[in-house]
Structure 1
């Protein structure tokens, strides 16, 4: 495949797992890519990858790099601190020139703010260390989706609804803005200039280590604010790594989903392979998408509109790497 330039930088938490970082870099190089590591990528200040000024400078360098992909080393926490200081014009210009900003978790703050301020499309996807540098090797589906992005062929995805959700009332939609990401980070932006004002969009959500009652509380914050009712679909990804407690007495994640469906006219779909899990697809935040379903199979297509740079016909379903139940 064609060699692409990938710029690795750290806009959030300090990289503690240096071995995973090195494995991720080595794997990208082994795939034939030209990897540039930001000068401050491995800096550490408290829990952050350098102080706020250091990380803002790294973001500016990523935007000025001219790279095909600007990939975060890891998530963590740190971007909400600096949203009032991000170089929005430079980021939007970089996107316009073909740089795909890719990240997960805390990166939701960056993506939401960039979408709200500029309308530019960024990509929800892997981080270098935890995904490309995973000890047992990168997840095949994630790697294939990342490859598609690099080749300019990532035009859609698909997944299978869990059996218990097979009767959700959803057929198809066209021309809706895809947005969202980490639920906790997104809900923390509500009421700020960095929360995207998206009507009739497709909102995707995921989270990690949040008990279902906390997930419900955050969903209710978005619901009470009128955000959920204004969408055309809510798509729930993976909510992983939380512990039930005896006090729950049967209150679980499915309780939260069932209640939400009862309160909204908007369809709530589940099973999206995205979140703090190895198997994650890449999703263009801010792009126009079409969705369709055939029984339990759901297809989401964005074609070349997300700036993949190829105007060829993508056929009906794009690349469905993620056809598996979760």
Structure 2
């Protein structure tokens, strides 16, 4: 299928689910790209994976009672994020330890709940790997509203979040409320994950949160440019991934992740400053310069 045929399918009224899938994928990729910059900056990629486990019981309950999946996942994820912030604030236990205990327990609870639902195997597969082509119209508006809320909060607290991410002790010395900023970031990560679960599933959602930001980090040293590049890379990969999956009848979530990974590997090798080839050239040039500078012995 060529791009023109894909565009024709997007405009086909009989395939109304396809433009909705594209809109959800792009919106969730943009939000995850922005939030993921803070995740990469703080070196807390683990929390993205953990949050995807934490939202699972809420998704499972919402599915069993035929409720809104985004709302159910948000409630469960936010409750767990608050508990993590409270338990880790004393610093008696490391943050990753608390996350490991609470989020895995939440995921186990979700497994137990969903096992009681009819069609257990199919429901579990939908949650784990996404079901982007079966998204109701109501979720489109929920994702748009949630994503806009996340981006607004990030914009308003950008300087504070960066300060806490770079140097927590300096943030405390400046009088910033580190606990509440940590909690806010946990909540933003949770919401970003929740709106992405239907696109890419619990198992693969970490890629949408981390890979675009990590790719952007290879391409620039400036946070502002990174936060512009990451959502652009995520959204572009979502479009390409959906196109490839629709053309060759492949799983949408897995295809989007593979496109993201391809972009990351390309940046890893070819980035102008941080790419492997550029680093190797600088190393070779430095060695040649040293060899020319060494005095020759008679």
Q: TM-score, normalised by structure 1?
A: 0.25
Higher share in strand: 1
The structure whose RCO (Cα within 8 Å, separation 6+) is larger is 2
Q: TM-score, normalised by structure 2?
A: 0.26
Higher share in helix: 2
